[in-house]
Each structure stands twice: as C-alpha cells, then as structure tokens.
Structure 1
Amino acid sequence: MSDSSMTDLLLEGVVGSTAYGLNTPVSDLDYAGIYVQPTSALLGLHPPAREHATRQGRGGADATYHELGKAMGLMLKCNPTASEILWLDTYTAATDFGHELIGLRGCFLSARLVRDSFFGYATSQFHRLVDRGRFQGSLETRREKHARHTMRLLWQGYELYTTGVLPIRVPDPDRYFEFGRRIKEDPEARTARALIAEYETKFDTARTVLPEQADEAPLEDFLQRVRRAHLEPLPTPVR
C-alpha cells in the first residue's frame, strides 16, 4: 500500500515506539491500518486465505495493513499489536466504518485472552533480550528495545485487564529507558525476569473488569454490513 488515500482503507494511524512515547532519534515511523477487500473477491472458488490478508509498506515508512476480517480475528484473540490501532489518540485516516469499529473496541475484550496475550507477548520479548545477551555481537540497542517493550506490554496488559482501557502512551518514558539500560549489565535479564514475576502476581491477585467472553454479536453485525457495502452490484443482463 503506497499511501493512505486508497478507497478500501478504513483506518490508519501511527503506532509503535512513536505512539508509545519510546521513540529515539533513530526510530522508524511505523504505521498500521485496516482495509477492506471487495466482497466479490471473497465469494469465488478460491477465496484468499485470511492469514495472508496483509499488505506492507507506505512509501518509505514501515507499515502493516490487515484486511478487516483478519484484523477482527486477531482482535478477538486480544492480539496486542493488532488491537492497539483501536486505542490511538489520533488517526491519519478514518472512514465512518473505521470510527464505528473504534466504538466497538470493548466488544473484542475477554479477561483470559487479554491476560494470556499481553503476558505472552511480554514473555516473547523477554526471551529475545535474553538470547541477544547470550550471543556474541548482539546489538545492545536491540536488547534495550526488547527490555522496554517487555515492560510496556506488562503495564498495558495489566491496565487493560483492570480498567478496560488500553493505554498506548506510557506515562513515564524515562523509567522504561532506564530499565532498558540496566539490561546492558544483565545478560540473563534477571531484572526483566523479576518484573515478569511481579506482574504475574499482580494479575493473579487483581480483580478484572473484563467479561469472560467477547461480545461477538455487534461485531458480526458490523462485519456483515461492511461486506454488504463493499459488494459491487451485478451488471444488468443484456436482453
């Protein structure tokens, strides 16, 4: 996708380190978006596989755009990366359907999946920073970044679990950068391991405001209406 003016784009915004307030002078500008495939393309003998419904690129910037069906499927799993676009403060593009989807963001949430997804992604970041600490020649800046995002994901997940709101921008960026710097002298990432254990206890003892199951009925209604709106009329037969 080369720009944000394409007619099938529902939603687009700046995500990643810039959105979190954790960007540095060398950070890339990252975009994410949601687009709609023509409904006729989904009705043939060989419809595109949903897992492949992703486009990359926005000029020279890093960008990832998921087709609406794939995006909603990931959001129902409470995938942190896919879900954050619904919680941004500002957008570079948003249609009426895009705004409606933002209004439905709470319907995707369920307590167990929020905990499992955010905790799981944080643990994945932790393993990356540990591996980078064990191999000679690993870039320290990458280890620091993984450490910052481990901390961010734990904080975001806990906030979402206990308040029902996913905060995007961290309140005290310096604290996250300091946490990353401490990892430099900590090849086994003991500091991060301790933070994960702390949040595991916090999740175990917290009272969640989230439901046990996502509210799928309004999401199904929304997706059906979008699909109908993007179904091209059949040509008039020649008599």
Structure 2
Amino acid sequence: MNVLLSGIVGSTAYGLAHAGSDIDRLGLYAAPTVELHGLHRPAESHVTTAPDRTLHEAAKWCRLALGCNPTASELVWLPADLYEVRTELGEELIALRRTFLSARAVRNSYLGYATQQFRKLSNRDRSDPQGLDRAAKHARHLVRLVEQGLALHETGEVVVRLAEPERVRALGERFARTPDDAAALLAGAEARFDRPGVLPDAPDEAPVESWLRRVRAVHYAPAE
C-alpha cells in the first residue's frame, strides 16, 4: 500500500492506556490512480485486528475529516513521537489540517459522539458484572470528546494527548456509577458550544482538493 501518513492513536495517544491496552494504529493511503478509473472502485478502507490498524483511502479520509470525524481527524494532530509513517504528502496534509475545520461540523461530531457514549453509559445492563468496566470506558470517551471538542471550538486546536489523564479516569469511574452526573457535563458543553467560537462556518475545501489531485498525479500508473 502507498501509506502516506500513519500513527498510533486511541488510548495510547490520549494517555489513558494501561498495561493490557491494545495499540491502535490509524493511517491513510493512496490507491493507484488507474484503479479509480474502472467499473469497480477499490476498497476505501482496510481494517485488521492483528495488529489493530485502520487505513482509509485518501479521498475517504478527506471526507471524514471535512465532517470533523474525531477519530479520523486526530491523525493530523498527533504528537510527533506517535507518527510511524510521514511521507512528503503526509506532511503537506498535516500543514492543511485547519482547512478541514468548521464550527457546525465540530459541534455535531464531538457533541454527537459524546452523547452516544452517554446513552451507552445510561443503558448498561447493571446485572452484568463486566458492565461497570465497559461503562467506565464509555464515560472516559465521553469526557475526552467533550473536552477535545470544546478546545477545538474555542481555540481551533485538537489536543490529542490529555493534560490530566488521571482526572479523566477518575471521572470515568464516577460517571460509570452515577451516569446522571455526566448529564451536567453534556449540558455545560452544549452551553459553551452555543457561544461564538473561533472556527469558520465552513471548511476550506480548495486546498484539500488541490492536495488530493497531487496525490492522484503522484500515484498514477498507466495500464500495461
């Protein structure tokens, strides 16, 4: 595969990993341009579990990032030590990362995913002995998504590595036991999202389109 950018994401990137945590990898690649011209388009994602790795084709990753998908977007905001592949085109994409951002998409995606975690937290089966651990994981994701989304709304920056992971773990344990406490966190986040932020109303697609066309030009291979 023509991997352009790849790195370690998930709990390791956030600072929430423990001894038994999986190492999750995320990246993007360029399909050979000639393969995009046929009747059947190539797969847009490749996912493996051994190792845990997700690779999105460049165009799909761009669409996800333009929608401010939290998982996809963090690839271009990782701390430098977490990158495993950084090609020249990958570096260009990192330099373009702010052009993908827009106020509505950030609110909808980060707050939307946090709300999904809250539903999972609230609807857990309390008779399941393993349920509390899963609920704590959902709660940690809820707190992370709220804090990352608000930082993005108010500063224009994605902060992948949490400044206080122990505090997030503690909140996760608390919210797992008393999910109603998390409702106040979500309500406060909604109020802050209602205030004006620093992000534009719409992403700047022109440089993204230009980058993707360069990717296609570089990876064009004529049929034999």
**TM-score with structure 2 setting the length:** 0.94
| Conserved 8 A contact 2:8-2:26 | yes
Letter in 2 for 1:225: R
Equivalent position of 1:18 in the other structure: 12
Alignment of 1:195-214 (within 5 A): 195-205=185-195, 207-214=196-203
Do structure 1's residue 216 and structure 2's residue 205 form an aligned pair?
yes
Letter in 2 for 1:221: S
TM-fit CA distance, 1:80: 0.4
Equivalent position of 1:72 in the other structure: 62
TM-fit CA distance, 1:125: 1.1
Gaps of 5+ in 2: none
Aligned residues: 222
| Conserved 8 A contact 2:118-2:142 | yes
Equivalent position of 1:86 in the other structure: 76
Gaps of 5+ in 1: 1-5
TM-fit CA distance, 1:65: 0.6
C-alpha distance after superposition, 1:206-233 (max 9, x if no partner) = x211111110111111101110111113
Larger radius of gyration: 1
| Conserved 8 A contact 2:4-2:85 | yes
Partner-residue secondary structure (3-state), 2:177: coil
2:175 to 151, 161, 183: 183
Distance in 1 of aligned mates of 2:222 and 2:38: 15
Letter in 1 for 2:35: A
Distance in 2 of aligned mates of 1:140 and 1:103: 41
| Conserved 8 A contact 1:132-1:138 | no
TM-fit CA distance, 1:136: 3.4
Alignment CA distance shift 1:221-1:135 (3 Å) = farther
Equivalent position of 1:154 in the other structure: 146
Identity level (%): 47
Equivalent position of 1:99 in the other structure: 91
C-alpha distance after superposition, 1:17-70 (max 9, x if no partner) = 01001112221111000011001110012223xxx5111227x32111101010
| Conserved 8 A contact 1:28-1:62 | yes
Do structure 1's residue 230 and structure 2's residue 222 form an aligned pair?
no
**Dislocated runs of 4+, deviation >6 Å:** none
1:54 to 45, 60, 66: 45
Letter in 1 for 2:40: H
**TM-score with structure 1 setting the length:** 0.88
Two-structure CA RMSD over aligned residues (Å): 1.5
Equivalent position of 2:100 in the other structure: 108
Distance in 1 of aligned mates of 2:198 and 2:180: 31
| Conserved 8 A contact 1:133-1:143 | no
Equivalent position of 1:3 in the other structure: none
| Conserved 8 A contact 1:10-1:33 | yes
Distance in 2 of aligned mates of 1:202 and 1:47: 42
| Conserved 8 A contact 2:124-2:131 | yes
Partner-residue secondary structure (3-state), 2:16: coil
| Conserved 8 A contact 2:34-2:222 | no
Distance in 2 of aligned mates of 1:211 and 1:116: 14
